[in-house]
Amino acid sequence: MEAFLVSITTVAVAEMGDRTQLLSLVLAAHYRKPWPIIAGVLVATLANHALAGLIGVWFGTLLTARVLDFAVGVSMLGMALWTLRSDRLEDGSAGTGRSAFLATLIAFFIAEIGDKTQVATIALAAGYSSLLAVVAGTTTGMLAANMPVVFMGKAFAERLPMRAIHLGAAGLFAILGAVFVARALLQ
């Protein structure tokens, strides 16, 4: 349960103002079909985070518990710094696919590659023994952050205190990183 709760919280907070959340906003404005967009986000996130989780589990088997905790902790501290940098959506990112689902699926999967939530999924899967709980948590966190944007659109996104959200996410990553580093040092 801890793996699920940490995963959902980490990704939901980290996703605020992220490029994939901005992509969801652009897709929602372009297609105005929220359910196919949500379905595309779900399928793309499941595929992307399952692959990331498998990579994390593989890394986890190669390392001792102490080295793994230290590596996860350092990666979370790095995520804290990365979160402080605001993402901006580049022109042309929405795509011109024939359907909202397909456009979302492709654009979202590609946008998630190398994204901080994918890196967090790798680290969480390496640090926790339950791949299913981590992928379910990170996917749920992604949906929790993106569904309001898709349904409420631009008006909702413009009212969020993005700087405060980024600082909160950075703080969460820093706390998680410190816990993992401390756990490694105490072993």
- Give the C-alpha separation, 89 to 153, whole Å: 15
Please state the domain extents for the chain.
2-186
The pTM assigned to this predicted structure is 0.71
3-class secondary structure, 113: coil
Under DSSP, the state recorded for 120 is: H
Tell me: pLDDT of 37 over 50. yes
- The per-residue pLDDT for range 141-184, each reduced to its tens digit, is 999 999 998 998 756 555 656 677 667 767 877 887 898 889 88
Phi, psi (deg, nearest 5) at residue 139: -70, -40
Higher pLDDT, 31 or 122: 122
Half-sphere exposure of residue 147: CA atoms within 13 angstroms, side-chain side: 10
- Read off the pLDDT band of 111 (50, 70, 90): confident
Which conformational region is residue 49 in: left (phi greater than 0), alpha (psi within -120 to 50 degrees), or beta?
A: alpha
| Helices and strands, counts by H and E, the chain | 8, 0
- Write down the pLDDT at residue 133: 97
- Give the C-alpha separation, 44 to 180, whole Å: 29
- Write down the pLDDT at residue 162: 61
Contact by Cβ (8 Å): 153, 25: yes
Tell me: pLDDT of 15 over 90. no
Q: Which residues of 112-146 are buried (b: 16+ CB within 10 A; e: fewer)?
A: beebbbbbbbbbbbbbbebbebbbbbbbbbbbebb
- The per-residue pLDDT for range 54-104, each reduced to its tens digit, is 999 998 888 777 887 787 778 778 767 876 765 554 444 444 445 889 989
